[in-house]
């Protein structure tokens, strides 16, 4: 089981904080934006004598409201086709448990969200990757690159759209390309779409559920964590029109009894948030993205492509080893009593050594703090003993 590249440097950050150092956290996708007031009001006003189990697939009232939410994006589901999970992470795990056996293979684009590997290992499945590159902004590889990885044990393709860690947004043509591969080889398409609210381009949002002809193959993963700034309530969902998959997932849901009661109450209230809240959040992230990417690319030797979605980017640094650099920043570097924490990108790649000079950065801090973090990064690179020249 691999350790998380997002969290495994936390002991170094904790030690720095104990010594009075302020750490600018660019390593984890924890928004600093306030949770909607309607959600907080629902939390404050819980009037129950018993905090009971909920149904294993989640409250019908929440699933019914989610039907309306998805319809706004041209995704048409019934409440029975939505299963509430303990965060999007459990949805991924249950999808793997239901659809994959030991030794079965899943194809992902490299780099990918690191916890997918942990969930695959948990069920005995094997991750096989097709490579993308920072040089062309991590665009989708060719059909041939996918088909080179397909074997008799291949059962699924897994995508994150918009992508974590790269911020890449799949085009309609690329989604159709994936549809054709899925249909030709009769694969599942696991589609993690938790960042659909954060798309910074004129291109349309294309869900896996928009693809015709593979409706029974699609398993959609979702979460309220990012769009409502509610990471801690641990509410996600798994959506599929495939009844056999739902029946299998429900067995795992029953085994863990129920998703979080309090979280469901808060999530249900959040769906009624005013559009102005979501628009304001969107504009804030768009502004942060532009500020961060411009600032990164002004630092000598640093390169980041422009991400079109989510709130992450992968940047290459002029260092011998990005993980060593990140640890050095936490242990040795200080500027005005502060330092910066990033996630080494090597942990998001399949093969050892890949992404060795790259970091994932989450632009979840306000612009003032982003500016201070960028200044820390610039000065740290100037003084880092393992800096590369040229």
Q: What are all long-range contacts of 12-20, with beta carbons under 8 Å and residues at least 24 apart?
A: 12/327, 12/330, 12/331, 13/330, 13/341, 15/330, 15/331, 16/330, 16/331, 16/339, 20/337
- Measured in residues, the chain has a length of 390
pLDDT for the residue numbered 390:
58
What lies within 8 Å, CB to CB, of 112 at 6+ separation is: 127, 129, 158, 160, 165, 348
Q: Which of 342, 348, 260 has its CA nearest to residue 55?
A: 260
Name the pTM for this structure.
0.95
The residue behind tokens 């293979």 is 105
Spelled out in words, what is the top-level CATH class assigned to the domain 37-270? alpha beta
Taking a C-beta distance cutoff of 8 angstroms, is the pair 184, 143 a contact?
no
pLDDT in tens, 20-49: 999 999 999 889 999 999 999 999 999 999
Measured CA to CA, the distance from residue 178 to residue 139 in angstroms comes to 13
Tokens 């189990």 sit on residue: 53
Residue 7: the pLDDT is 81
What are the domain boundaries of the chain?
10-34+276-383, 37-270
Residues in the chain with pLDDT < 50? none
Q: Share the mean pLDDT of the chain.
A: 96
Edge-to-edge strand ranges of the sheet holding 82-85: 82-85, 236-239, 218-223, 188-192, 154-160, 105-110, 126-131
d(CA 314, CA 194): 18
Q: Does domain 10-34+276-383 have CATH number 3.40.50.150?
A: no
Tokens representing 230?
Answer: 């509610």
10-34+276-383 against 37-270: fold identical? no
Residue 132 makes CB contacts below 8 A (sequence gap 6+) with 109, 110, 111, 138, 139, 140, 141, 166, 168
Cis peptide before 128 (omega within 30 of 0): no
Q: How far is CA 264 from CA 29, 59, 145, 226, 267, in A?
A: 21, 8, 41, 15, 5
Residues 6+ apart with CB under 8 A from 246: 80, 81, 83, 240
């Amino acid at each position: 089981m691999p350790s998380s590249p997002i969290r495994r440097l936390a002991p170094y950050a904790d030690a720095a904080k104990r010594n009075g150092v302020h750490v600018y956290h660019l390593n984890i996708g924890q928004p600093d934006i306030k949770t909607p007031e309607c959600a907080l009001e629902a939390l404050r006003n819980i009037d129950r004598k018993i905090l009971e189990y909920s149904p294993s697939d989640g409250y019908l009232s929440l699933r019914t409201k989610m039907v309306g939410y998805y319809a706004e994006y041209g995704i048409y589901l019934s409440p029975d086709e939505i299963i509430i999970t303990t965060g999007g992470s459990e949805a991924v795990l249950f999808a793997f448990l239901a659809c994959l056996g030991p030794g079965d293979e899943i194809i992902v684009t490299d780099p990918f969200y690191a916890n997918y590997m942990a969930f695959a290992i948990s069920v005995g499945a094997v991750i096989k990757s097709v490579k993308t590159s920072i040089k062309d902004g991590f665009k989708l590889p060719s059909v041939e690159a996918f088909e080179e990885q397909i074997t008799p044990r291949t059962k699924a393709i897994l995508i994150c759209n918009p992508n974590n860690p790269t911020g890449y947004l799949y085009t309609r043509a690329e989604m159709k390309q994936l549809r054709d591969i899925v249909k030709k080889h009769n694969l599942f398409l696991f589609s993690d779409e938790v960042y659909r609210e954060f798309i910074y381009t004129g291109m349309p949002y294309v869900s896996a559920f928009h693809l015709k002809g593979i409706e029974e193959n699609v398993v959609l993963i979702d979460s309220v964590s990012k769009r409502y700034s509610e990471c801690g309530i641990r509410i996600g969902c798994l959506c599929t029109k495939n009844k056999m998959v739902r029946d299998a997932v429900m067995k795992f849901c029953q085994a863990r009894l129920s998703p979080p009661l309090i979280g469901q109450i808060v999530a249900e209230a959040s769906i009624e948030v005013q559009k102005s809240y979501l628009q304001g959040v969107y504009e804030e992230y768009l502004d942060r993205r532009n500020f961060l990417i411009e600032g990164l690319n002004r630092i000598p030797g640093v390169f980041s492509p422009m991400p079109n979605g989510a709130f992450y980017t992968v940047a290459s640094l002029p260092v011998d080893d990005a993980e060593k650099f990140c640890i050095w920043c936490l242990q040795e570097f200080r500027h005005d009593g502060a330092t910066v924490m990033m996630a080494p990108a090597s942990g998001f790649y399949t093969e050892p050594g890949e992404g060795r000079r790259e970091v994932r950065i989450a632009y979840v801090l306000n612009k003032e703090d982003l500016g201070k973090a960028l200044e820390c990064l610039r000065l740290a690179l100037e003084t880092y003993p393992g800096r590369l020249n040229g």
